[in-house]
Amino acid sequence: MKILISIVSWNYLSRLEKEIPFLMKDIGKNDFVVVFETGKKKTDFSYSNPQLAIRNCNNNLGFAAVHEIAVSEMKTKQFDGLLILNPDIEIPNTIITRLKNCIEKTANSCIIGAPIYNLRNNQLTLEYGGFPIVESVKNVLNSASYDFNSKEFKITNDSYVVRDLHGSFVYFPRTVIDKNGWMDTSYFLYGEENEYLYRLAKAGVLATIFTELAILHENGGTFSFNDDLKNIREYYKTRNGLFNNIKFFGLKAYFYLNFFFLFKYFIGRYILRKSSFRENDLNFYNFLGHIHFLKGKRGKVFDPNDYVE
């Protein structure tokens, strides 16, 4: 089995440097890791290994479009599947070995994901367990613990089928991509994997989460450099989330979930003139995301590279 592992790093190579050795120690002789650096901040990170390539993307194309480069390589070099990893996760020991065991269980015909946890002040919390998720599964996930010495999860081995996964750890068989195409690259940031997975579910492609693949994720870490980045993160999450809401649930999803926000924002900014509704506030970027959604605006509006030195 040959797996291509794709990591899109935005100004995060210095952190990734700590995790790459764990990953390289576990990959098979036919696997390959490609890291795409899309940010302005340069580091002296280097890791000499014939199964690892670090490539610079001068133009930040976005999550889906950069991973699409890896998809092309997966096809031309006849890899059996593509594993997407985010740079802001901790790589557990033997994660690739365990993933391959899960791939064999599904006969390499299934999207595979992992439960995603956060660790704050030594407290383990579940960030995402997939959607939909039943109460019995929640109990399994919430009973997990984390061993700080071994950096390993203690969790009951289980698996369950979902329609949606977290984009920080997703495995796609090549046969699924060949048959169904790739993500919608017009999203630029956020929501691409959700739209793709829902589209795959409609085509009858199952997604399965295996609890033994649980990972730690530093939520929002790549956008924590300054408030400007947090603002444009809010813009893309809002705008692209609205496109997904309409696609998945129809117009009623927009009116039920968002009409009240627009009304409240209009009153706060233009009638009451509250300072919390100015251009430098999250509310403004949330509002702008709504407006651009209504205009049908897609693609890159704000380049994160413009907000770092």
Q: Which one, of 61, 119, 70, 47, lies nearest residue 90 by Cα? A: 119
How do 89-90 and 215-217 pair as beta strands? antiparallel
Contacts of 292 (CB under 8 A, 6+ apart): 235, 239, 301
30-89 tens-digit pLDDT: 999 999 988 766 666 677 889 999 888 877 888 999 999 999 999 999 999 999 999 888
Please state the pTM of the whole predicted model. Answer: 0.89
- pLDDT of 168 > 60? The answer is yes
Domains contained in the chain, CATH given? 3-222 (3.90.550.60), 226-307 (no CATH)
Are 82 and 180 in contact by the 8 Å Cβ rule? The answer is no
Q: Please tell me which residue, 262 or 191, carries the higher pLDDT value.
A: 191
Average pLDDT for the chain:
86
Proportion of the chain above pLDDT 70, given as a percent = 85
